[in-house]
Amino acid sequence: MTSTAQPTGSEGRKAHPDHLGHVIFITAAAAMGGFLFGYDSSVINGAVEAIRSRYDVGSALLAQVIAVALIGCAIGAATAGRIADRIGRIRVMQIASVLFTISAVGSALPFSLWDLAFWRIVGGFAIGMASVIGPAYIAEVSPSAYRGRLGSFQQAAIVIGIAVSQLVNWGILNLADGNQRGTLAGLEAWQWMLGVMVVPAVLYGLLSFAIPESPRYLISVGKVSRAKEVLAEVEGHTVNLDTRVTEIQDAMRREHKSSFKDLLGSKMGFLPIVWVGIGLSVFQQLVGINVAFYYSSALWQSVGIDPSASFFYSFTTSIINIIGTVIAMVFVDKIGRRPLALIGSAGMALSLALEAWAFSAKTAAGTLPPTEGTVALIAAHVFVLFFALSWGVVVWVFLGEMFPNRIRAAALGVAACAQWIANWAITASFPSLSDWNLSGTYVIYTIFALLSIPFVLKFVKETKGKALEEMG
Contacts of 56 (CB under 8 A, 6+ apart): none
Show pLDDT as tens, one digit a residue, over the chain (472 residues): 543 334 444 444 455 666 678 888 999 899 998 898 888 877 887 888 888 888 888 878 888 888 888 888 888 887 888 898 889 999 999 999 999 999 999 999 998 898 999 999 999 999 889 888 888 888 888 877 777 778 778 878 888 888 899 889 889 988 988 888 888 888 999 999 999 999 999 999 999 999 999 888 898 888 888 988 888 888 877 778 888 888 878 777 766 566 667 777 767 788 888 899 999 999 999 999 988 877 777 777 777 777 778 878 888 888 898 899 889 888 888 888 899 999 999 999 999 999 999 999 888 777 788 888 889 889 999 999 999 999 988 897 888 788 887 777 778 778 878 888 898 889 888 888 988 898 999 999 999 999 999 999 999 888 776 655 555 5
| DSSP conformation letters of 400-431 | HHSS-GGGHHHHHHHHHHHHHHHHHHHHHHHH
CA dist 280 → 265, 345, 397 (Å): 19, 12, 11
8 A C-beta contact, residue 405 and residue 5 = yes
Q: Is the dihedral of CA 255, 397, 281, 64 positive or negative?
A: negative
pTM of the model: 0.76
